[in-house]
Chains A and B, each alone.
Chain A
C-alpha cells in the first residue's frame, strides 16, 4: 500500500522521516488510527484484587477507569461523565461502590451503568433512559497472565492473535521465575513522569536497541548490578551471555533475549538466602523447560506503546502519548507473588536504582530521547531522514543454538535495527489503514525479517 504515511518510511524501511517524531497533525492521526484501534495495556490484575477496587489508567490520551465489579470481572471505562464530561473518578486508586460525578451528581455503578440522576422527575420527567447513558466502555478486554489489556475497536483481533508469538517474550516477564505459568504481581504504586520527547522513540528503544551502550557508559563504570558490582546488569549476563534480538515484524513487536549456556542458568552469584532462592527457582525452571530455560528475557515492546523488562529489573513501562513532543511514562515493577519479602526487597531496590526518572540507567535514556525529539523539529531537517540500517536483514546472523525455541526463526544474534524497522513499517501500516481488515491484510504481506 503506497499511502501517505508509508512514504515516510523508505522502501527498505531503513530510513524514517523525522517529522513523525515532531508533527502535531501526525500525532493527532496516531490517536485515531493507532490508539483507538490497538490493544493497549491498562494495568495488572493484582492492582484490583477485590470487588469495587479501581485504578485510574490511560489508553493513549484517554483517561480510563479499570474496575472490578461484584461478579469479579474487570471493566474498563472512559473516565468522563456522559452528562458534561467531568471525570467521575478523582483518585489514582481505591475501592468504591459508585462513581459519583461532582458536577451535577450523576452516579454510575462499578459496572459502568448510570444508576442515579438528580432531578430525574423534576428535570427529565422520568423520561431519561438511563441504560443509554452509562460510562463509555471499551470494546474488548483481555487478561493475559495478569496483565490487563483493552481496545476501543470491536473489530480488533483477539489479544492472543494480536500478540502472536510475542507472547513467549511476555511470558518471560509474567511467568514465575521457576517457569510456572503466571504468578506475577506488581509492587504497589506506579511511577509516573513526563519526558519532552515523542513516545515512539522510547518504544523503539525498548524493542531492542543493543546499539546504545554508550548512553549508559557512566552507570557501567560505576557498576550497579543486582549483586552490587559489574556494570549495570547481572554479572552472569555480561560475561557469559549471548544477546539475541527477536522481532515479530508482521505485528510490529519485538525484544531482546539473553541466552546463557546451561551451566550458568542456575548459578546466579547473589548473596545469602536471596541467592539460594534464585538458584533454586532457576534449577526448577531448568527441570521444567529443559534447554529453553537457557533463555532469559530482556526488554521488549508490544506495538504500539507497551514495553517491559523481564528477569532483572522486572518492569512494565508504558509510553503514554501527550503531544508530538511530550510523553507521560508509567512504570510498574513486577515480582513473583509467592517470593519471600526479602527477594521482593532485593528486586525492588535494584529496579529503583536502575529504572525510573531517578534510575541510574534510565535517567540517561530520557536525556537522549529529549535530544532526539528536539532534533526532529524544524523545516530544514525534514529532508534528512534518520538511519535505521544497522544490520540489514540480509546481514543479520541467525541465532541457532536453540532450534526448538518456538520463535527460533525470528531470532538473530546481537545488535540490529531490524526490530525498529519492523516497528516503523507497522506504524505506517496502521497510519495508512482505515480499519482492522486493512491492517490485517497489510500485516500478512510481511514475511520474514525486515
Chain B
C-alpha cells in the first residue's frame, strides 16, 4: 500500500490509518448520541455487544485490581446486551420519560484515544482494542448541571458496514454516583 504520509513506512501508515478510523468512529458515535440520533447510534453496535458500566469501590492500593465490580457476576450500574440498549433508546424516544423531559443538554468529550492492538489492521473481521477517556456534561431544566468523567475500554470490530462496537466497559470515576440518575450512554 502506498504510504499516505510522506516518509512513513507502510507499517506506520497502516497504524495511522487504523488510529484515524478508530478515533473517527468514536467521535462519530458520541456525536450521534449528543444529537439524539440514537437509532443510528444503535446501528454502530454489534448484535452481540456487551455493554458494562461497573461500580467502583474504595480499595487499598494493594488491592487496586479489585476496584471495579466484575461483569455478569457482580452488581453494576449497567451490564447488558443490545436488547436492553434498544429498550433504553425506545424509552428516550417516548416523550414521556420524565427523567429526560425537558431533554437535557448533553455533551460527550472523548479523548486520549489509544489503540492498544496497533497491528489489528483495518480489514473486515479485524478487531481492535481501544482505550479512551470521556467527559460527559449534562445540563437540564434551570440549574441542574453534572459532570461525569471516566475511562473506557472498548473492543471494535470491522464489518462489511464499517467499524462497530462489540464490547464496552465504561468506568465512571465515582464510587458514590454524585448525580440522581444516568440517562445517557458512555
Given A92-B57, A189-B74: A357 and B181 interface contact (C-beta under 8 Å) = yes
Contact of B72 among A345, A364, A366 (CB under 8 A): A345
CB <8 Å contact, A352 and B79: yes
Contact of B180 among A217, A224, A366 (CB under 8 A): A366
Point out which of B87, B99, B176 has the most chain A C-beta atoms below 10 A from its C-beta: B99
In the complex, what residue of chain A is closest to B92 when comparing beta carbons? A218
Contact of A191 among B75, B83, B90, B180 (CB under 8 A): B75
CB <8 Å contact, B177 and A217: no
B137-186: which residues lie under 8 A (CB-CB) from chain A?
Answer: 175-183
* SS class, residues of chain A in contact with chain B: mixed
Determine whether B59 belongs to the interface, using a CB cutoff of 8 Å to chain A: yes
Provide the residues of chain B in CB contact with A333, threshold 8 Å. 75
Q: How far is the CB of B169 from the nearest CB of chain A, in Å?
A: 15
In the bound complex, CA of A194 to CA of B77 (Å): 14
Q: How far is the CB of B181 from the nearest CB of chain A, in Å?
A: 4
CB <8 Å contact, A358 and B180: no
Determine whether A221 belongs to the interface, using a CB cutoff of 8 Å to chain B: yes
A 30-47 to B, binary, CB cutoff 8 A, 1 in contact else 0: 000000000000000000
CB <8 Å contact, A364 and B99: yes
Contact of A215 among B98, B179, B183 (CB under 8 A): B98
CB <8 Å contact, A93 and B57: yes
Q: How far is the CB of A187 from the nearest CB of chain B, in Å?
A: 5
CB <8 Å contact, A366 and B181: yes
A 241-277 to B, binary, CB cutoff 8 A, 1 in contact else 0: 0000000000000000000000000000000000000
Provide the residues of chain A in CB contact with B91, threshold 8 Å. 218-219, 221-222, 360
Chain A interface residue count, Cβ-Cβ cutoff 8 angstroms: 44
In the complex, what residue of chain A is closest to B84 when comparing beta carbons? A353
Contact of A194 among B75, B97, B179 (CB under 8 A): B179
Chain B interface residue count, Cβ-Cβ cutoff 8 angstroms: 38
CB <8 Å contact, B80 and A196: no
Provide the residues of chain A in CB contact with B72, threshold 8 Å. 345, 348
Determine whether A337 belongs to the interface, using a CB cutoff of 8 Å to chain B: no
Determine whether B60 belongs to the interface, using a CB cutoff of 8 Å to chain A: yes
In the bound complex, CA of A82 to CA of B72 (Å): 41
B 65-95 to A, binary, CB cutoff 8 A, 1 in contact else 0: 0000110111111111001100110110010
A200-226: which residues lie under 8 A (CB-CB) from chain B?
Answer: 215, 217-219, 221-224
Determine whether B58 belongs to the interface, using a CB cutoff of 8 Å to chain A: yes
Q: How far is the CB of A358 from the nearest CB of chain B, in Å?
A: 4
Determine whether B2 belongs to the interface, using a CB cutoff of 8 Å to chain A: no
A 347-361 to B, binary, CB cutoff 8 A, 1 in contact else 0: 011001100111010
In the complex, what residue of chain B is closest to A357 when comparing beta carbons? B181
Determine whether A188 belongs to the interface, using a CB cutoff of 8 Å to chain B: yes
CB <8 Å contact, A92 and B96: no
Given A228-B83, A357-B179: A189 and B75 interface contact (C-beta under 8 Å) = yes
Determine whether A190 belongs to the interface, using a CB cutoff of 8 Å to chain B: yes
Q: How far is the CB of A98 from the nearest CB of chain B, in Å?
A: 14
CB <8 Å contact, B75 and A222: no
Point out which of A187, A189, A191, A332 has the most chain B C-beta atoms below 10 A from its C-beta: A189
CB <8 Å contact, B60 and A224: no
In the bound complex, CA of A368 to CA of B99 (Å): 8
In the complex, what residue of chain A is closest to B55 when comparing beta carbons? A189
In the bound complex, CA of A189 to CA of B67 (Å): 11
Contacts A192-B175, A364-B98 supplied; 19 other A-B pairs, CB < 8 Å: A90-B58, A189-B74, A189-B76, A193-B177, A193-B178, A193-B181, A194-B176, A218-B94, A222-B94, A332-B75, A333-B75, A345-B72, A349-B84, A352-B77, A352-B79, A357-B181, A358-B183, A360-B91, A363-B181
Q: Which 8 A-B pairs have CB atoms at the shortest separation, nearest pair first?
A: A189-B75, A193-B177, A218-B97, A363-B181, A358-B182, A218-B94, A192-B176, A188-B74
Spell out A's residues near B (CB within 8 Å): 90-94, 187-197, 215, 217-219, 221-224, 228, 328, 332-333, 345, 348-349, 352-353, 356-358, 360, 362-364, 366-368, 370
